[in-house]
Structure 1
Amino acid sequence: MMLEKPPILPNITRLTVLQGQFRVSAGPRVELSTVLGSCVATCLFDPEAEVGGMNHFLLSEPPASHASEEVDVHYGVYLMEMLINEMLANGARKSRLRAHLYGGANIRAGMAQIGTANANFARVFLERERIQLVREDMGGVSARRVDFRPASGLVRCRTVSSTEAPDTKPIPRAVPSRGEVELF
């Protein structure tokens, strides 16, 4: 599915947004790209400040039993806040933010509906924060590739082979030592 195809510009700098990442830019020749399966990407932009950004989250929120004091960057609840804060720090105003949502597919039959949960979380988050959702392409069973021009808000979303979607497992990261360990 093609949406508002961005014009071809020479010397485009393409930046990939991986799971657990977000990027913000005001550069007119910057394009943010990602590939999604059950993950969701939020593309935010402020049309007046000509600044925008994209995140890519794996899961919506940590389970209630998750008692870690560390922030896990794979959760949407964290990445949504980080994206908004970085945009505000770069001149955007929250009242002018516009959003696009992509991903949230349920690619693997018989598995938990992670994509649906991610899509629902993203919609509710934007509604709660009073950020206008102008376009979405979520759900289904197909992976998507998203190319977003943050300064203009133009986006291209197309379905791709599910084999191109990243694994639904978080990228491992080192866990710092917290002191003594008690074995029982």
Structure 2
Amino acid sequence: MTGLHRHVPVNVPPGEHYVTTRDDVVITTVLGSCVAACIRDPVARIGGLNHFMLPSSETGVWGGTTGSLRYGNFAMERLVNEILKRGGRRSRLEIKVFGGGDVLGGSAPIGHLNADFVEWYLRAEGMPIAASAMRGFSARRVRYFPTTGKALVRELAMRDVRMPLAEEAAYRSAIDHAPVEADIELFN
């Protein structure tokens, strides 16, 4: 299949990831201050994308896997490990990173901190970045073809920025108000 319209789109919202071996899938996401890592093994033809909101956490405070994936350290480990578990090899991984825009223009440039984190993480793990489009002041739409490694990245006009910001704000709010998941169940 060729052309974007012949691919099955899979949207990855904040705090999620997706991995596949299917040639007909395009993974999409919209980033404001968040960062997405697109990682694949070109020989095993497996790849995926994550979408994280905050650089790191020691505990992933909210407990559940999905809650912890909003942090870069958990999201990166999960994506890499899932690709390796499905037959990828660490030495062959191709990595592209996007996002981290300072779209809010506030005093806490969380987007730039996210970008700093992913660059530090990959350097510490000895994993080179093949391509990136990070920082700046724009939101971005990413379309990633995981088996070929092709990434289409488009900066969004200011009128289009409201959507990713609203999605990120809604996700943050849902996490902030969600009950903490427990690893222990008590019986009377």
Short-chain TM bin: 0.7 to 0.9
Segments of structure 2 that go 5 or more residues without pairing to the other structure are: none
Give how far 1:53 is off.
0.5
Give the alignment's Cα RMSD to 1 decimal. 2.2
Which of 38, 54, 70 does residue 63 from structure 2 map onto?
Answer: 70
Which of 35, 44, 50 does residue 45 from structure 2 map onto?
Answer: 50
Q: What corresponds to 1:4 in structure 2?
A: none
Give how far 1:108 is off.
1.2
| Pairing 1:7-156 to 2, within 5 Å after superposition | 8=3, 11-62=6-57, 68=61, 70=63, 72-156=68-152
Give how far 1:179 is off.
8.5
Segments of structure 1 that go 5 or more residues without pairing to the other structure are: 1-6
| Count of paired positions | 172
TM-score (norm 2): 0.83
- Provide the rounded CA distance (Å) in 2 between the counterparts of 1:77 and 1:32: 21
Give how far 1:89 is off.
1.2
Q: What corresponds to 2:161 in structure 1?
A: 162
Whether the aligned pair in 2 keeps the contact of 1:43 and 1:54 (CA below 8 Å) is yes
Give how far 1:132 is off.
1.9
- Provide the rounded CA distance (Å) in 1 between the counterparts of 2:109 and 2:35: 13
Give how far 1:69 is off.
8.0
Please give the secondary structure, in 2, of the residue aligned with 1:167: helix
TM-score (norm 1): 0.85
Distance 1:175 1:127, change over 3 A: same
Whether the aligned pair in 2 keeps the contact of 1:24 and 1:53 (CA below 8 Å) is yes
Structure 1: which amino acid aligns with 2:23? Answer: P
Percent of aligned positions that are identical: 34
Structure 2: which amino acid aligns with 1:123? Answer: E
- Segment drifting more, 150-159 vs 8-17: 8-17
1:70-112: per-residue Cα shift (whole Å, max 9, x none)?
A: 2522101001000001001111100100110100000112331
